[in-house]
Amino acid sequence: MEIMNDKDRKKMILESRKFGGISLQHQILRVHKNGAKFPISKSYIDDELLDPDVSYTLILIPEAKLATKTTVTLTFFKRRSGPHVFYSFPEDTLNNLEKESIGEMMIQASKERFFINYSSIISSINHYFELHSDWARGNKEMLMISVSLDWKINQAIEEIIHSLFIDFETHLSSTENIFKALYINDLNSFSEEEIADIKRTNEDLKAIIKEFYKKINLVQNQKNAKHTITVSLEIEKKLDLNQIAQKIKGAEFNPERFPGLVMKSETPNVTIILFSTGKMVITGLKKTSEAEQVVDKAIKKIKYIGVNITNPKISIESIK
């Protein structure tokens, strides 16, 4: 039997925690003589492969729970009391345990800006970011936007949601004094003029979250695609999607509704979504053998209008 070294063991434990894993270090695994098996990640380890005299690290990963309804949640870190769910929409969808579970993810969020958390309480896709604040210590508020989905996602949907997160962060950062909304539950500490500002920005922030929720619902239209292609393009600078939309016939770009530029292709009939980061998602493909042809056509269209892109990295995912 090969014993895992300590460095690899710690790495595996950290990776498992992303999926809601719980590590029980240095626990004795009792080996049954009756040939019982222990289910671990859909596979089984036979008793005879385990040494009863060795202490093992057990990693328990709970079955991921989907939300009963797709929900968007904004969490922020209160200096005195820690993570706090500011607002979730639709309202009253999450129970207190689910809100607490999402709030606790902020501890992980400060290390990884974008991450997916699988949990037996509630699973979510999350994005951590910081917002300038004149009222916070260090002049920054720590925030996390989360999406709890009632359907399983693929890599392409993950890329789209990641781009929506970046768009959401940019929107908040460019909205003057939006940080004041976070103090809606501390009104006793402020003047009447400041309270008026807090209440106004609170309504503004909730409206932004509701608009973000609408964009997430638009993403659901892509979830039933049989095959999806994710393409990463090497670009010198962020793509100007407004300019590209004006130069490519039939391209649509409405950043208020969705941060990606949408193009249609008839042969084969697919939808191409391009983001300013250079990410491209192609959905509606019936045959994976057509993937290279579709990507080549899309890249030629973009290059033709003078955009310099190189070295596309293609990933194809089939949905069953």
Domain boundaries, the chain: 6-60, 71-221, 224-318
Closest to 63 measured CA to CA, from 93, 19, 32: 19
Q: What is the pLDDT of residues 177-198, one digit of tens each?
A: 999 999 999 999 999 999 999 9
C-beta atoms surrounding 119 within 10 Å: 20
As a whole number of angstroms, the distance between CA 108 and CA 106 comes to 5
**What percent of the chain shows pLDDT beyond 90?**
32
DSSP secondary structure code for residue 41 in this structure: T
The pairing of strands 227-235 and 71-78 is unpaired
C-alpha–C-alpha distance, residues 315 and 83, integer Å = 36
**How many other β-carbons are positioned within 10 Å of the β-carbon of residue 311?**
7
Contact 319, 227 (CB under 8 A): yes
Look at residue 108 and tell me whether its pLDDT is greater than 90.
no
CATH says 224-318 is which class?
alpha beta
Range 131-146 average pLDDT: 95
Which whole-number Å values give the CA distances from 11 to 25, 27, 126, 179, 281, in the listed order? 13, 18, 21, 37, 31
CB atoms closer than 10 angstroms to residue 166: 17
Question: What backbone phi and psi angles, to 5 degrees, belong to 122?
Answer: -160, 135
Q: How many CB atoms lie within 10 A of CB 66?
A: 14
Which H or E element spans position 212? helix 192-219
Element (H, E) at 196: helix 192-219
Give one DSSP letter per residue of 49-74, joined into a string.
GS-TTSEEEEEE-PPP---SS-EEEE
> Which pTM does this prediction carry?
0.66
pLDDT band of residue 175 (cuts 50, 70, 90) is very high
Instruction: State the pLDDT at residue 37.
Output: 39
- Site of tokens 């595996």: 12
pLDDT surpasses 80 at 267 = no
Residue 81: half-sphere exposure toward Cβ, Cα within 13 Å: 8
pLDDT 10s digits, 29-80: 443 333 333 444 333 344 445 555 666 555 555 566 788 889 999 999 988 8
| Among the listed residues 318, 268, 254, 257, the one whose alpha carbon sits nearest the alpha carbon of residue 298 | 268
DSSP H/E element including 272: strand 270-274
148-158 average pLDDT score: 78
Element (H, E) at 17: helix 6-17
Using alpha carbons, list the distances in angstroms from residue 92 to 95, 100, 146, 208: 7, 14, 16, 18
